[in-house]
Chain A
Amino acid sequence: MKKFMLDLTVKENIPLENRYFLLKLTSNDRLPEMLPGQFAEVRVDDAPTVFLRRPVSIHYVDYVNNELWLLIQIVGGGTRKLSGLRAGNTLNLLFPLGNTFKLDTGKNSRIMLIGGGAGIAPLLFLGAYLKERGCQCNFLLGARTKKDLLQLHEFEKYGEVYTTTEDASHGEKGYVTQHSILNGTHFDIIYTCGPTPMMKAVAQYAEAGDIYCEASLENTMACGIGACLCCVTDTKDEGHVCVCTGGPVFNTKRLKW
């Protein structure tokens, strides 16, 4: 897929709970084709502590309104700067980058998308994509508290949503891998994105049940296009592989994590 460097216009910047914000970007031209799992390298200008672009998952693409959504949590100087963007501001993106989730799932597969924290971001686009192609999706979203569960109303448009919180403020108490839905139902495919310990636990669950499982990784990254070799993850079959081009989505069986 052809990659682009484009100046997009901020249509809306919606502050969400717990230091998250939702950026809706648009362009006068039709946005290029993007697929679930891919990401953008966002340029952060005029922030003294920021030098490199920030890799951000594509949260959702609204082709009707020509919008690209990014769900971002403020974690440092770069994301803080981005949180201050206002409607009408310009943001420079390199996109779409990286590979995609497995998209040919078969219509009758039982599909579970498991996300935690900011890792829920790419799962919305994936769920919407799969639903449009007649697949039934389930979402299992975990967070510390109810406040950290974001965009639930969006996920509900594309499938059943199950939740866990560590303080029992929403859904079942505990971690995603402790949710009862994983005990009672067999899934054919699991997609996961979130904190590494969570994804590892999900991968173990999948492995034990012989379930096909993909995880979307987030490593520190410089170029985003496979040139600098900084963002590698170690794999069983090919050694060090760039997360930006060989990933960010990996079959969890390949990973040496």
Chain B
Amino acid sequence: MVNLNVNIGGLELKNPVLTASGTFGYGTEYSDFIDISRIGCIIVKGTTLRERQGNAYPRMAETPSGMLNAVGLQNKGVDYFVEHIYPTLKRINTNVFVNVSGSMVEDYVKTAEKLNELDGIPGIELNISCPNVKEGGMAFGTSCASAAEVTKAVREVYKKSLMVKLSPNVTDIAEIARAVEAEGADSVSLINTLLGMAIDAEKRRPVLSTVTGGLSGPAVKPVALRMVWQTAKAVKIPVIGLGGIMNAQDAIEFILAGATAVQVGTANFIDPSVSVKIIDGIEDYLKRHKFNSISEIRGMI
């Protein structure tokens, strides 16, 4: 029996596989296909202080080995979450994080404060990297000063595990990671989507209603891997790697690059059971190479 347990900033997970926000709904969408309680941690969709309708359709474009999305944080707001969604989530027998988004520091703080009260939610993922909202979102994640400011403000009110999700749309992601680490982040997750664009040549129009959107899927994996490797060398807090992970081998690559855990995102759309397959695949890999625990291979590169 190999040990798949990992610790992400004071919180023990039964395995290093998380599901990425915005790709796994509230978890229950997937329960016909897998036992979702097997997942190390489910990160539910981006939640904002007030309800958001998101961007106009079309919000998605298929691209080579990936997809662009411009959903724009459609959600019913944190109060609705607490009242209507949390009661179901707290019965799931694994860790559930809420991804927190906003357009002003105050929004992040108020949302985090409300989530801090929920016993069944051991942590939040602070989304300072959404490329699909007009104000805020990614703007916070592209400068050290603003990333630090929002992390600091949330840290003051949020007492549980605080993961900060970083944007790849920056010159030096390690610098941003250090800035949020200095303000008390317990872990960082990276990468959020890469800003991209698709054009329909026949119609001579952009494919997405917002023109630009966030690129995900295997197309971004080499970029994500490089950024995880750079960041893991720059900070002491755990790094959660994501970006184009489709199978256990991809997940192992991120862990070898220094990630403590990984998030599986877009792959859930193609195979709703992929997260569980990745957990099993990691275990098989460790057995095959005669390692006793996942931590033995972390950061070997």
Pick the residue among A3, A52, A219, A226 that contacts B67 (CB under 8 A): A52
Contacts of B25 in A (CB 8 A): 225-227
Which residue of A is nearest B63, CB measured?
A51
**Which of A128-136, A181-189, A202-210, A228-236 lies at the binding interface?**
A228-236
Q: Which residues of chain A (204-257) have a CB below 8 Å from chain B?
A: 219-234, 239-240
Listed in ascending order, the chain B residues whose CB lies under 8 Å from chain A are: 22-25, 29-30, 32-33, 45, 53-54, 56-67, 69, 71, 74, 217, 266, 268-273
- Quick check: is A87 within 8 A (CB to CB) of the other chain? no
Q: Is the CB of A225 within 8 A of B30?
A: yes
Decide: A43 and B270 in contact? CB cutoff 8 A.
yes
Query: What's the minimum C-beta distance from A48 to chain B, rounded to whole angstroms?
Result: 8
Is A2 an interface residue when CB atoms closer than 8 A count as contact? Answer: yes
Contact B60–A220 (Cβ < 8 Å): yes
Within the complex, the shortest CB–CB distance from B70 to chain A, in Å, comes to 9
Given known A52-B67, A222-B269, A226-B25, contact A5–B60 (CB-CB < 8 A): no
Smallest CB separation, B62 vs chain A (Å): 5
Known: A51-B62, A51-B63. A229 touches B56 (CB 8 A): no
Q: Are B32 and A3 in contact (CB under 8 A)?
A: yes
What are the nearest 9 A-B pairs in CB distance?
A230-B60, A227-B25, A223-B269, A3-B32, A222-B269, A227-B29, A229-B71, A239-B53, A225-B29
> Are A232 and B54 interface neighbours, CB within 8 A?
yes
Considering residues B30, B64, B65, B270, which has the most beta carbons from chain A within 10 angstroms of its beta carbon?
B270
Which residues on B sit within 8 Å (CB–CB) of A219?
57-58
Minimum CB–CB distance for B29 against chain A, Å: 5
In the complex, per-residue mask of A44-76: 1 if CB is within 8 Å of any chain B CB, else 0: 000011111100000000000000000000000
The B interface, classified by DSSP as helix, strand, loop or mixed, is: loop
Measured between C-beta atoms, what is the minimum distance from B34 to chain A in Å? 10
15 other A-B residue contacts (CB within 8 Å) besides A2-B32, A222-B269, A232-B74: A4-B32, A51-B217, A53-B270, A220-B60, A222-B266, A223-B23, A223-B269, A225-B272, A227-B30, A227-B269, A228-B269, A229-B22, A230-B59, A234-B56, A240-B57
B66/A51 in contact, CB under 8 A: yes
Identify the A interface with B (CB < 8 A). 2-5, 43, 48-53, 94, 219-234, 239-240
**Inter-subunit contact B57/A232 (CB<8 Å):** yes
Complex: A48 Cα to B61 Cα, angstroms: 16
Q: Is the CB of A52 within 8 A of B62?
A: yes
Instruction: Find out whether the CB atom of A227 lies under 8 angstroms from the CB atom of B74.
Output: no
CB distance from A44 to the nearest CB of B (A): 10
A5 CA to B59 CA, complexed, in Å: 25
- Distance of B267 from chain A, by nearest CB (Å): 10
B53 contacts which chain A residues (CB < 8 A)?
Answer: 239-240
Q: Which residues of A contact B65 (CB under 8 A)?
A: 51
The CA of A231 and the CA of B30, in the complex, are separated in Å by 17
Q: Which residues of B contact A221 (CB under 8 A)?
A: 60
CA distance A42 to B271 in the complex (A): 11
- Closest Cβ neighbor of B26 among chain A residues: A227
Q: Which of B33, B71, B269 contacts A5 (CB 8 A)?
A: B33
A4 and chain B: residue at smallest CB distance: B32
What chain B residues lie within 8 Å of A233 (beta carbons)?
57
Say yes or no: A51-B270 contact (C-beta < 8 A), given A220-B60, A230-B59, A234-B57: yes
In the complex, chain B residues whose CB is within 8 Å of the CB of A3: 32-33
Q: How far is the CB of B201 from chain A (nearest CB, A)?
A: 14
